[in-house]
């Protein structure tokens, strides 16, 4: 009998008896073999693999792997140079399509362990090429900034009309006498910028100016209109002080006008999420984690969020060497920078049954900020789906065990946990910091956030290794056991997802929306 036939026959009977050590030794490659041991190991029959150990699994993660993949992603970003004039992995670019292909190729050698799928969808993307908000007497209105996803409008002079209340309902506009070509002046607050702009257009305004409601802010308010409709108008933001100045101008002159113009575009881009599910583990208890695969147009996005993508790929590769008890789902979201579009689309497509199978979601966005802090989302069960607090405490315990200081940060809507939490799925995660200030030294956490310089030189390798090892620990911990983790409950999920319980986030992705 040929040895291959003998092995096949033996494997089919494996559960009937304990295999002798001499048989197990047959699967160990001799040192003189020219077969690559690393690539061979994931193909070792599943039942011969050891159970994943949360305590030792993080030690499998090595810095050299993170470094190698980071350089791969930077080279991929450079494939966009011809079209964008700089390396980028923004959706629709060669750099992003090649990022998706790269992720898929990494799983090619792991297909005996993972089921790979992609999910296509369309996302809105846009760019403001130029804009003007000027006094009719000459000179630019100070602090003016255009809102992203604003539609274009040819330059015009329009009468400025102050909107009562906050411009969040039809009633705020209905009593106004709106002349053709008027500009709505609206205070920030209560509802998203997009709704204010949409209502202004619906009630006959040609453009809108939104002023900040924070007297202490000296910069003009800016953000995203999020989901423009047929009524949405070109919108520019200004500071609180400038807003008060414009109100005074209207008070002194009922015909007070401004010069307004914007050259911009908004378009739909087709893109894809990539999902990798383990073939083994309880499919009724899914441990989900994600990172976003795209960057902004301005740069290659090695920290934001190439670092999260690299961490997930590295952990997924090493997990394939082990047995697990619960199914693990690795997600690589697209269009996060366009407003969390990919992750929200994914969750929106889940049936109630599939939603309830996901026991938790862990978000990993920006793992290697140069002036890092170890940040943990401060999730409590009182205001988030039950289980979010337990996830937070797991991160706290890990950092504390290894002597790392950590800081708690709020859920503010800036990453892909939003869709999960809003749909009743426990969520949490860690980060190393974006454009905020490091409270330990007073310096910016990532001075290259959303900039061209977010390249390989922008990565802090100590933070990168520690955080990837923590990701490995979190995956192994829950893949091994969910025994002490709160069960999902359909009634709780429905209750949390109801409108009155829904948290209001000021951000959606990196853009302010409220």
Residues annotated as catalytic (active site), given as ranges? 336
Q: How far apart are the C-alpha atoms of 142 and 501, rounded to whole Å?
A: 39
Could you list the beta-strand ranges (E) of 212-368.
234-238, 257-278, 282-292, 322-323, 326-333, 358-364
143 Cβ contact partners less than 8 Å away, ≥ 6 residues apart: 218, 219, 220, 238, 239, 241, 242
Helices (H), 183-306: 193-202, 240-252
Q: What's the alpha-carbon Rg for the chain, to the nearest Å?
A: 26
Percentages (nearest 5) of helix, strand, coil residues in the chain: 35, 25, 40
Q: Are 323 and 44 in contact (CB under 8 A)?
A: no
Residues 184-199: b if buried by 16+ CB within 10 A, e if exposed: bbbbbeebbbbbbbbb
Maximum CA pair distance of the chain? 101
Nearest to 363 by CA among 383, 386, 382, 379: 379
65: exposed, middle or buried (Cβ count in 10 Å: 0-12, 13-18, 19+): middle
Residues 6+ apart with CB under 8 A from 259: 132, 133, 134, 135, 136, 155, 156, 157
DSSP 38-72: HHHGGGS-GGGSEEP-TTTGGGG--HHHHHHHHHH
d(CA 287, CA 254): 60
- The whole-angstrom separation of Cα 422 and Cα 493 is 9
Both tokens of 340, joined, read 């969390």
Distance CA 124, CA 173 (A): 28
* H helix intervals, 423-489: 461-480
Distance CA 270, CA 382 (A): 38
HSE at residue 45, side-chain half, CA atoms within 13 A, is 14
């Amino acid at each position: 009998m040929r040895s291959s036939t003998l092995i096949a026959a033996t494997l089919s009977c494996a559960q009937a008896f304990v295999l002798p050590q001499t048989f197990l030794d047959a699967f160990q490659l001799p040192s003189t073999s020219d077969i690559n041991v690393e690539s061979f190991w994931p193909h070792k029959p599943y039942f011969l693999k050891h159970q994943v150990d949360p305590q030792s699994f993080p030690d499998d993660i090595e810095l050299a792997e993170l470094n190698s993949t980071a350089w791969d992603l930077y080279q991929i970003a450079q494939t966009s140079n011809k079209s964008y004039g700089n390396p980028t992995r923004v959706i629709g670019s060669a750099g992003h399509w090649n990022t998706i292909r790269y992720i898929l190729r990494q799983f090619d050698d792991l297909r005996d362990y993972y089921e790979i799928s992609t999910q296509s969808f369309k996302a809105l993307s846009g760019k403001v090429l130029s804009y003007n908000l000027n006094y009719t007497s000459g000179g630019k209105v100070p602090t003016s900034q255009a809102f992203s996803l604003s539609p274009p409008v040819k330059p015009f002079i329009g009468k400025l009309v102050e909107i009562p209340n906050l411009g969040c309902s039809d009633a705020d506009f209905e009593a106004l006498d709106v002349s053709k070509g008027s500009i709505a002046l609206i205070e920030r607050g209560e509802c998203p910028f997009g709704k204010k702009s949409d209502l202004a257009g619906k009630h006959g305004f040609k453009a809108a100016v939104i002023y900040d409601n924070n007297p202490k802010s000296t910069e003009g308010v800016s953000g995203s209109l999020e989901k423009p409709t047929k009524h949405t108008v070109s919108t520019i933001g200004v500071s609180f002080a400038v807003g008060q100045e414009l109100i005074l101008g209207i008070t002194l002159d009922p015909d007070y006008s401004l010069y307004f113009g914007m050259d911009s575009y908004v378009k739909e881009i087709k893109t894809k999420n990539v999902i990798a599910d383990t073939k083994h583990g309880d499919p009724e208890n899914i441990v989900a984690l994600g990172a976003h695969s795209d960057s902004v147009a301005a740069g290659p996005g090695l920290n934001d969020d190439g670092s999260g993508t690299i961490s997930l790929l590295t952990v997924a590769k090493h997990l394939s060497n082990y047995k697990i008890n619960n199914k693990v789902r690795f997600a690589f979201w697209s269009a996060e920078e366009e407003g969390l579009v990919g992750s929200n689309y994914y969750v929106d497509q889940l049936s109630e049954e599939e939603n309830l199978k996901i026991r938790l979601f862990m978000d990993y966005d920006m793992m290697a900020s140069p002036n890092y802090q170890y940040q943990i989302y401060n999730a409590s069960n009182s205001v988030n789906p039950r289980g979010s607090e337990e996830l937070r405490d797991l991160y706290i315990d890990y950092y504390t065990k290894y002597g790392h200081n950590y800081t708690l940060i709020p859920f503010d809507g800036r990453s892909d946990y939003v869709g999960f939490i809003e749909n009743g799925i426990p969520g949490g995660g860690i980060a190393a910091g974006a454009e905020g200030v490091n409270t330990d030294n007073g310096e910016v956490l990532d001075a290259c956030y959303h900039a061209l310089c977010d390249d390989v030189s922008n990565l802090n390798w100590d933070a990168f290794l520690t955080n990837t090892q923590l990701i490995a620990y979190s995956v192994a911990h829950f893949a091994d056991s969910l025994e002490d983790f709160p069960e999902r409950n359909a009634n709780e999920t429905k209750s949390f997802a109801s409108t009155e319980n829904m948290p209001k986030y000021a951000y959606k992705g990196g853009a302010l929306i409220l």
